[in-house]
Amino acid sequence: MEIENQNIQISIVVPLFNEEESIGELTDWISKVCTENNFNYEIIMVDDGSTDKSWKKVEELMISNNKIKGISFRRNYGKSAALNVAFEAVKGDVVITMDADLQDSPDEIPELFQMVKEEGFDIVSGWKKKRYDPITKTIPTKLYNATTRRVSGIKLHDMNCGLKAYKKEVVKSIEVYGEMHRYIPVIAKWAGFNKIGEKVVQHQERKYGKTKFGLERFLFGFLDLFSITFIGRFGKRPMHFFGTIGSLMFAIGFCFALWIGIDKLFIDKTGTLIASRPSFYIALTCMILGVQMFLAGFLGEMLARNSPNRNIYLIKAKTANLDD
């Protein structure tokens, strides 16, 4: 059987934004590696609203190489949106993502494919152990990765590396939105995919253009980490979070108020007004905040219970006789 008629083994996803100089060289490199290793593959290029001639270049490449497929956004939505749309379209058994700036090496594809297909990893994340970035980028990156490892429990050195490999089942089971592409391993872990590996990969100096990301991504990254951690742990049970904090704060305020009342009735004989005591306002504030937190948890629980996705669970396998 001809290789073109076989099932697609690898889908290479390349999100891009104003990368017209590099995408031709990148697709040639990917095709060379896949052909040499006898892979049946597809390249899905997602143009994230480029303002240069990137999309025109993709259309030209599609004419000369039928393995290339393209998606073009009307405006810039961000890398997460590009990946999410591509994940819906992929057909390969193994999905590999890489950046379009030639800093990720396609020579890593065969080993990444092997680690997923033969060694059984759900995700393999690249680790750019030796980087060619300025110190203003490497130091915040190390801090960001250390924090993410601590919070998520996933022992990856380079969480945000664009070069990753996934089982098809993983990308079809998760949703990437906002700026959550940095935390796909965390999202996958919360979805039940726990075999997450790492591979040291080459990091090459940028050959064309300039980086599209600024230092603000580190601030947004920490905020996104808090969001994804909260959603993963309490998304379907917000009352456990808000209700616990609210109940605790109300209990503290109530104890303060009870002590003030007892002190006023039986101990303090000076006639000091309750409203003149700082502890009265502490008690009042704690009880009000406690009630508000409890109500926030109650409303969140109501919304979660009425969500159309409330009972969607990822099933790993079923026995053959289940429907008998």
Look up the domain containing 287 and give its range: 238-305
For the segment 41-53, what is each residue's pLDDT rounded down to a tens digit? 999 999 999 999 9
Q: Are residues 56 and 190 part of one domain?
A: yes
pLDDT for 121-160, tens place per residue?
Answer: 999 999 988 776 666 667 777 787 888 888 788 888 888 8
Q: What pLDDT, on the 0 to 100 scale, is given for residue 3?
A: 43
**Mean pLDDT (whole number) for 105-122:** 95
Evaluate whether residue 315 is within a structural domain. Answer: no
The least confident of 226-230, 283-287, 292-296, 306-310 is 306-310
Total number of domains constituting the chain: 2
Select, from the ranges 103-117, 142-156, 166-180, 300-314, the one with the highest average predicted confidence (pLDDT): 103-117
Cα 7 from chain centroid?
28
Q: State the CATH number of the domain containing residue 230.
A: 3.90.550.10
> Residue 182 in 3-state DSSP?
helix
Tell me, yes or no, whether 154 and 180 share the same domain: yes
Q: Return the exposure string of 39-69: e unless at least 16 CB atoms fall within 10 Å of the residue's CB, then b.
A: bbbbbbbbbbbbeeebbebbeebbeeeebbb
pLDDT category of residue 5 using cuts at 50, 70 and 90: very low
Task: Extract the tokens encoding 136.
Answer: 């203003």
Instruction: Give yes or no for residue 310 having a pLDDT over 70.
Output: no
Tell me if 119 is assigned to some domain. yes
146 versus 31: the higher-pLDDT residue is: 31
> Where among 184, 215, 234 does a domain terminate?
234
Average pLDDT over residues 203-219: 64
In a domain, 319, yes or no: no
